[in-house]
Amino acid sequence: MSFGQGGPSWGPGGTRTPDWAALADESAARNRRKKWLLIGGGVLATAAIGAIVATAVISTNKNNNSGKNASELPAPSDLPNDTAEPEPSFSSVAPPPPPDPKDYISDAKKDRAPITVDAFFPGKKLTMGNRVYVKGATQQTKNCAATTKGALGSILVNNGCEQVVRATYSKDGVAVTVGLAVFRTEAQAKKAARQASGSIATLSGQGVPAFCPPGSVCRRTANSYGRYAYFAISGFTSGKSVTTADKNVYATGDDLTNFTFRQIRHRGELQASAAATAQTG
């Protein structure tokens, strides 16, 4: 006895044998259905996720537009056109320039500080670099001609000299006397220095012997700054003549004239500083 195609068959002894080909076909069909179900489910899941994200984005935008975050800057249209803060203002008037120190020692009308020996030649010693000079005799007088030798006296008087301050310094057998002549104006002092002839007279005493006796050769210089003309005479306390080879004499004279110039300039700086303080006070 037999069945049609695809049915079970009977084995020996009357046992029923499964149709293995039919079972294999059925298993393959089931696998194909599962595969298509998985693919379709993935597509649906992807579409669902995209829809959720889009919905979230739209929802977020709606939330942001519905209310303003306190930390966000206002839109340009929300800024006020005018504010209560005043705009900065700048003065069109330039501040006055600082006073020029030279102005205060160029004219008697501005140069009002006291004129004394100590104002120009203070202390008992003068240190220039590693060189120390001892101060000797000093003098202040309105008799300008009496402080000079040769033609310098008449030159000072003719140019309107008002007074002369002298001081002598010495070191290692060399002495120098500086004479500071005071005038009303810078032009007078400059003219006197330019016309200089003769010399300032040496001033001895207080530890400094007489130097530059008649007939000896000494070094003489003349210069001016502001309304002050200053003259120096340098030589050996032994009385011997000075030559161009005597560098120590030249160094001594240069130190003292440089110091005198600095003192005049410092006088102007002090008065200019006081004027500047008064302007800003």
Per the listing, tokens 């310098």 go with 152
Going 120 to 123 to 124 to 128, the CA torsion angle's sign is negative
Q: How confident is residue 1, by pLDDT bands cut at 50, 70 and 90?
A: very low
pLDDT at 32 over 80: no
Distance CA 38, CA 34 (A): 6
Number of Cβ within a 10 Å radius of residue 37: 10
pLDDT at 232 over 90: yes
H-run or E-run covering 220: strand 219-225
Distance CA 126, CA 187 (A): 30
pLDDT at 126 over 50: yes
Q: How confident is residue 99, by pLDDT bands cut at 50, 70 and 90?
A: confident
Q: Give me the phi and psi of 93, to 5 degrees please.
A: -95, 120
To the nearest whole number, what is the mean pLDDT of the chain? 81
Average pLDDT estimate for 230-256: 97
Distances (CA, A) of 195 to 68, 143, 160, 221: 90, 19, 13, 12
